[in-house]
């Protein structure tokens, strides 16, 4: 698989929060942590949002059509699951064994089949307006789900409210909510043998035993500016306090333990899968267990224009099967599933008709979204598609409805508003309705 998508963009992050930001960058941990004094949780539910970047094929996973013509139905067969009468792809046996812990929306759809706009739509709940440029990073016109959660619920303890891994999507930022609610970006693959989180250790130029000295130096510099700054800008005094919290994060035992994936038993790590998706899901569980409100996992590359069936069979579906099944089982066994909502989706599905390269192309008109935990009714199948999985045949839902449902489960009023930098009120959800079958 190519590391790039069919639109040619590499999707690299422009919202990284590095340790260097503690010493001068405008988008650093001090600003990120500022929200803690004002945001209060209404309901203690966390979110793991797993974004299957590129677009998962619904007709080859959760919505197979074995009676469709050969040019539609594909190579895979439906298989029984733990729920009588419910069948999914036979290459997902472990997921089939955990299917009583989550639900499927088979009638999901929207009107766009281009990566950039569709990505933004799924990550923010708003379709971008004129002037949107997917080649820019960040390219948020609206804040993504994690930034809204950060704004409305705020952080717990010394861990950030919103974390992304292994990288941040260009539409994964805070938009007009500001740097306070930008993500903490791990920007490293948890499956790497030498994995560590750079922001939890001092930069190479600063030995750990000199970190306290650097903090004292900054405090000394502050004294030259404090009086004038506070008079000119009351927020400047608060910024110092939040910078102190950034230092606390670097030295926090709670944060270090949460990000230390090497503390997990080898057996459990093997069950999740020693690959990026598996170890990212394990890290997501560790982070919500430590108090992180929202973890977004950006997993690539599901853009299967060529050799769709070989790529799914040999790579993507085995990873998905181990990672998603173990995540739900692990959350359940730890008593975390009721307080952790998991959402798994791509930006769209894939064309039901197979193309000349044995692949499937982009398809916004129909796909499947998986939701479980955090107040979502388990074992429910919402809606259905037509005989060829080309469009919903009943109960169509879209991104606005997904966001209304997620926010409601987290105790956030979907009718609430946020304000742009010039004071304009913008609704958190763009006229979406809660999916009543699931709540």
- Does residue 200 fall inside a structural domain? yes
Rounded distance between C-alpha atoms, residue 164 and residue 153, angstroms: 17
Residue 7 has pLDDT above 60, yes or no: yes
Rounded distance between C-alpha atoms, residue 350 and residue 365, angstroms: 9
From residue 54, give the alpha-carbon distance in Å to each of 74, 104, 363, 393.
19, 19, 11, 24
Count of the separate structural domains present in the chain: 1
Predicted local confidence at residue 180, as pLDDT: 86
DSSP state of 380: -
Predicted local confidence at residue 228, as pLDDT: 46
Burial 363-400 (b: 16+ CB within 10 A, else e): bbbbbbbbbbbbbbebebbbbebeebbbebeeebbbbb
Q: What is the pLDDT of residues 255-308, one digit of tens each?
A: 888 999 999 999 999 999 999 999 999 999 999 999 999 999 999 999 999 999
Q: Is the peptide bond before 402 cis (omega within 30 degrees of 0)?
A: no
Predicted local confidence at residue 8, as pLDDT: 60
- Does residue 3 fall inside a structural domain? no
Q: Going along 205-334, which residue ranges are E strands?
A: 294-300
- Does residue 326 fall inside a structural domain? yes
> What residue spans of 12-114 are helical by DSSP H?
29-33, 70-73, 93-97
Q: What is the pLDDT of residues 228-255, one digit of tens each?
A: 444 444 444 434 434 544 565 666 778 8
In percent, the amount of the chain with pLDDT more than 90 equals 70
Strand partners, 300: 53
Predicted local confidence at residue 179, as pLDDT: 85
Q: Which residue has the higher pLDDT, 267 or 222?
A: 267
- Does residue 8 fall inside a structural domain? no
Predicted local confidence at residue 253, as pLDDT: 78
At 199, the pLDDT band (50, 70, 90 cuts) reads low
Q: Residues 258, 287: contact at Cβ < 8 Å?
A: yes
* Mean pLDDT score, 172-189: 91
From residue 204, give the alpha-carbon distance in Å to each of 194, 207, 208, 214.
16, 7, 9, 13
Predicted local confidence at residue 315, as pLDDT: 98
Helix (H), strand (E) at residue 331: helix 317-333
Predicted local confidence at residue 45, as pLDDT: 97
Strands 184-185 and 162-165: parallel
Name, in order, each residue with C-beta under 8 angstroms of 376's C-beta and a sequence gap of 6 or more.
102, 103, 341, 405, 409, 438, 439
Predicted local confidence at residue 230, as pLDDT: 43
* Mean pLDDT score, 407-426: 94
- Does residue 7 fall inside a structural domain? no
Q: Residues 312, 304: contact at Cβ < 8 Å?
A: yes
At 90, the pLDDT band (50, 70, 90 cuts) reads very high
At 363, the pLDDT band (50, 70, 90 cuts) reads very high
Q: Residues 285, 327: contact at Cβ < 8 Å?
A: yes
- Does residue 437 fall inside a structural domain? no
Predicted local confidence at residue 256, as pLDDT: 84
pTM: 0.85
Predicted local confidence at residue 22, as pLDDT: 32
Predicted local confidence at residue 264, as pLDDT: 97
Predicted local confidence at residue 6, as pLDDT: 78
Predicted local confidence at residue 67, as pLDDT: 97
Residue 53 has pLDDT above 70, yes or no: yes
- Does residue 10 fall inside a structural domain? no
- Does residue 150 fall inside a structural domain? yes
Predicted local confidence at residue 417, as pLDDT: 95
Q: Quick one: 320 exposed, middle or buried, by C-beta within 10 A (0-12, 13-18, 19+)?
A: buried
Q: What is the pLDDT of residues 21-44, one digit of tens each?
A: 333 333 444 544 554 444 443 469
Predicted local confidence at residue 305, as pLDDT: 98
* Mean pLDDT score, 406-430: 95
Q: Look up the domain containing 387 and give its range.
A: 19-427
- Output the domain CATH number for residue 216: 3.40.720.10
């Amino acid at each position: 698989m190519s590391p790039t998508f069919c639109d040619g963009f590499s999707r690299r992050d422009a919202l990284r929060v590095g340790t260097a930001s503690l010493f001068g960058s405008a988008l650093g941990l001090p600003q990120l942590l500022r929200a803690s004094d004002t945001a209060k949780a209404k309901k203690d539910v966390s979110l793991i949002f797993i974004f299957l970047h590129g677009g998962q094929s619904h007709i080859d996973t959760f919505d197979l059509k074995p009676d469709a013509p050969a040019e539609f139905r594909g190579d895979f067969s439906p298989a029984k699951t733990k729920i009588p009468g419910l069948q999914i792809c036979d290459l997902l046996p472990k997921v089939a064994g955990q299917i009583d812990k989550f639900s499927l929306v088979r009638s999901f759809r929207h009107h766009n089949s281009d990566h950039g706009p569709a990505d933004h739509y799924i990550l923010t709940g708003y379709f971008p307006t004129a002037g949107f440029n997917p080649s820019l990073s960040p390219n948020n016109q609206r804040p993504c789900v994690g930034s809204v959660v950060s704004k409305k619920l705020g952080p717990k303890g010394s861990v950030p409210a919103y974390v992304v891994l292994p990288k941040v999507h260009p539409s994964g930022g805070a938009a007009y909510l500001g740097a306070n609610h930008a993500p903490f970006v791990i920007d490293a693959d948890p499956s790497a043998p030498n994995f560590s989180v750079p922001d939890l250790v001092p930069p190479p130029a600063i030995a750990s035993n000199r970190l306290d000295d650097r903090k004292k130096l900054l405090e000394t510099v502050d004294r030259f500016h404090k009086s004038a700054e506070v008079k000119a800008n009351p927020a400047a005094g608060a910024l110092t306090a939040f910078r102190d919290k950034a230092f606390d994060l670097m030295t926090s035992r709670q944060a270090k333990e949460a990000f230390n994936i090497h503390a997990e038993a080898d057996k459990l790590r093997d069950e999740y899968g020693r690959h990026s998706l598996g170890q990212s899901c394990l890290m997501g569980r560790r982070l919500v267990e430590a108090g992180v409100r929202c973890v977004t996992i950006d997993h690539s590359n599901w853009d299967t224009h060529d050799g769709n069936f070989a790529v799914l069979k040999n790579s993507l579906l085995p990873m998905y099967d181990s990672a998603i099944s173990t995540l739900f089982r692990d959350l359940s066994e730890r008593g975390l599933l009721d307080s952790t909502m998991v959402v798994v989706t791509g930006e769209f599905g894939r064309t039901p008709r197979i193309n000349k390269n044995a692949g499937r192309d982009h398809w916004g008109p129909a796909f499947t979204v998986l939701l479980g935990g955090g107040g979502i009714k388990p074992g429910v199948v919402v809606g259905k598609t037509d005989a060829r999985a080309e469009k919903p045949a009943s109960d169509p839902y879209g991104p606005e409805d997904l966001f209304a449902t997620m926010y409601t489960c987290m105790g956030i009023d979907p009718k609430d508003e946020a304000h742009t930098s010039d004071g304009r009120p913008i609704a958190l959800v763009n006229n979406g309705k809660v999916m009543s079958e699931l709540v």
